[in-house]
Structure 1
């Protein structure tokens, strides 16, 4: 283990030195089903058209007008209400960090159900804010009573509700969400990273609740490598949060690729339809496996509980399939694996590898 020289260690925050970095598994040579990516590449003719278009981008200029055009295109795509606005982030991760920065008032607390997306807690820690996690029920539903009690006790500046949730993949009760929004003294962020695969969304809440923000990403849309996140809310709220955004945080190449994708949204919608159908096929097959319990999902992943997550994860790797072992992330996830929905061929190979564990 490397140790820092004293002259360096004394100028770095102790909590940062004690943190674990966000881990990304090496995936070369595997069927990669660990990161909830869209498994489909663009058809060849669209790849060629995109390449030619990117070749014409003015990379010697700072991004400006094209980023504004991307914001307008995303607003149309999402059906943004007229009294609302939209801001862009370098993925949703940056938006989460910017929110923590904007809400860093003395004594501020961030609150979210657990297990959930790790960046909520990490952004709080890096900004010096307190994070409160409220455990889900054993079936990964919102514990509404516990959430309301935590809100009353801690008066959080931000409540995060991932919809669907990561890593559990489920949508929560709309009635519970409404009561949480009513009780929250600050902002409520509906994180809809997996919206292309879900049967419900939160856009109507923007019109009803001035404290609600809806956050989405183009990563699950099909552009994980492009890093475009966006957040929508009442115009006056977005204008305030947008003040802490770094200038030119979206590259002109990323903006152009995202505009191209939105112009071909029908292709990405077709891909999402295949993923939803494959999710149902996987659910049915997993449900028939003895000792395997899949949990309901409206995302492009399925959480499953198996007899021994560590052993099953290792044997899947031996069969060339890489998934995510989430069993150590929270006690409720004991012996759980998270399976990304891949192409039909990839899913068939994953099922064969899983059956080899039986």
Structure 2
């Protein structure tokens, strides 16, 4: 064993050494439909205007006032309820990490239906909390009885409910959600990362529950590269979570880009409308293809069960179309591909590649 191996074995946690890092698929030269990104760039006049704005940013100073401006702009954008506050994260991932840190009391557990966003589990375990996953039903609905039983048994500090869920893309039953929220002894976090594409949200309903936080991101809004997530909830609760936020966690460039985007929210709303329309077209096309079963979607992705996910993924990749093979994430996802909704041209290319691959 080398000296470095000895140091690693002694000082780096064994569970960390056993983990795999978050994998990002190489996508150069591909039709990239694997990561639920908004495929549209800003129109050229807006790109030029944004460039001028960013050129005036005082990068030699730590972020300060512009962060408060962004919080205020987001509060207006979401019509922040009375008595609520809003905090920022470097993407939703950082907010999830902060929640794990703030709720790391002895014996704390985090609970979520699975399959779900992998960072609920990863963040909990890295912080030393126990993660409890409760399988969804075969059609990806909440197993209400199992959720309520797990909550009663484990008394979780945090319950995550993604709305819509990733990777299944569906909105859970509202009645089941309400009963799970009412039964939770700790915090409930409603993760609305895909809210721009969904027909319902939980923000106003959250005002009826003092222990509910709503988490959103600007990534699906159209700013995946800017890395800004935000979380809203009762002021007293947000104040506690905000205590573990690192100083200056959002860069002044990212804040300025987000402010610019919110000033042009109509353009991003137009893009989301196109993607919702394209989602309908994509699902209809998938339903016509032999052996494919697309599931209902309220996000910018379509989970699709296929005869052989590995073979079809490889065939699409050979045709320069990159999607996500999620078969290995959970037994319920066997032979499932997750298809991101792209531009009209990208979706046509994906449909044509699917048709050719299935012959």
**What is the TM-score normalised by the length of structure 2?**
0.98
**Partners of 2:83 and 2:136 in 1: CA distance:** 34
**Partners of 2:4 and 2:267 in 1: CA distance:** 50
**Partners of 1:31 and 1:312 in 2: CA distance:** 15
Report the CA distance between 1:3 and its aligned residue. 10
Contact 1:111 1:160 in 2 (8 A): yes
Give CA deviations for 1:326-352 in whole Å, capped at 9, x if unaligned: 000000000000000000000000000
Pairing of 1:253-272 with structure 2 (within 5 A): 253-272=253-272
Give CA deviations for 1:239-287 in whole Å, capped at 9, x if unaligned: 0000000000000000000000000000000000000000000010101
Report the CA distance between 1:356 and its aligned residue. 1.1
- Which residue number corresponds to residue 295 of structure 2? 295
Give CA deviations for 1:15-48 in whole Å, capped at 9, x if unaligned: 0000111111011110000000000000000000
In structure 2, relative to structure 1, the CA distance for the partners of 1:36 and 1:3 (3 Å cut) is: farther
Q: Does residue 212 in structure 1 map to residue 203 in structure 2?
A: no
- Which residue number corresponds to residue 182 of structure 1? 182
- Which residue number corresponds to residue 234 of structure 2? 234
Report the CA distance between 1:228 and its aligned residue. 0.3
- Which residue number corresponds to residue 322 of structure 1? 322
Give CA deviations for 1:44-66 in whole Å, capped at 9, x if unaligned: 00000000000000111100000
Give CA deviations for 1:124-157 in whole Å, capped at 9, x if unaligned: 1100000000000000000000000000000000
- Which residue number corresponds to residue 11 of structure 2? 11
- Which residue number corresponds to residue 52 of structure 1? 52
Classify the secondary structure of the residue corresponding to 2:243. Answer: helix
- Which residue number corresponds to residue 120 of structure 2? 120
**Partners of 2:8 and 2:152 in 1: CA distance:** 42
- Which residue number corresponds to residue 146 of structure 1? 146
Classify the secondary structure of the residue corresponding to 2:164. Answer: coil
**Partners of 1:329 and 1:19 in 2: CA distance:** 15
Classify the secondary structure of the residue corresponding to 2:53. Answer: helix
**Partners of 2:116 and 2:25 in 1: CA distance:** 19
Classify the secondary structure of the residue corresponding to 1:35. Answer: coil
**Partners of 2:246 and 2:318 in 1: CA distance:** 44
**Partners of 1:53 and 1:12 in 2: CA distance:** 43
Stretches of 4+ aligned residues off by more than 3 angstroms:
none
Give CA deviations for 1:97-139 in whole Å, capped at 9, x if unaligned: 0000000000100000000000000001100000000000000
**Partners of 1:28 and 1:209 in 2: CA distance:** 46
**What is the TM-score normalised by the length of structure 1?**
0.99
Contact 1:206 1:234 in 2 (8 A): no
Pairing of 1:278-357 with structure 2 (within 5 A): 278-357=278-357
In structure 2, relative to structure 1, the CA distance for the partners of 1:3 and 1:48 (3 Å cut) is: farther
**Partners of 1:162 and 1:328 in 2: CA distance:** 20
Classify the secondary structure of the residue corresponding to 1:106. Answer: coil
Which residues of structure 1 form unaligned runs of 5+?
A: none
Report the CA distance between 1:206 and its aligned residue. 2.4
In structure 2, relative to structure 1, the CA distance for the partners of 1:3 and 1:149 (3 Å cut) is: farther
**Partners of 1:233 and 1:207 in 2: CA distance:** 8
Report the CA distance between 1:204 and its aligned residue. 1.4
- Which residue number corresponds to residue 104 of structure 1? 104
**Partners of 2:3 and 2:111 in 1: CA distance:** 34
- Which residue number corresponds to residue 92 of structure 1? 92
Contact 1:88 1:250 in 2 (8 A): yes
Report the CA distance between 1:357 and its aligned residue. 2.1
- Which residue number corresponds to residue 32 of structure 2? 32
**Partners of 1:50 and 1:79 in 2: CA distance:** 25
Coordinate RMSD, CA, aligned: 1.0
Count residues with an aligned counterpart. Answer: 357
Classify the secondary structure of the residue corresponding to 1:76. Answer: helix
Classify the secondary structure of the residue corresponding to 2:156. Answer: coil
Contact 1:205 1:212 in 2 (8 A): no
**Partners of 2:8 and 2:302 in 1: CA distance:** 43
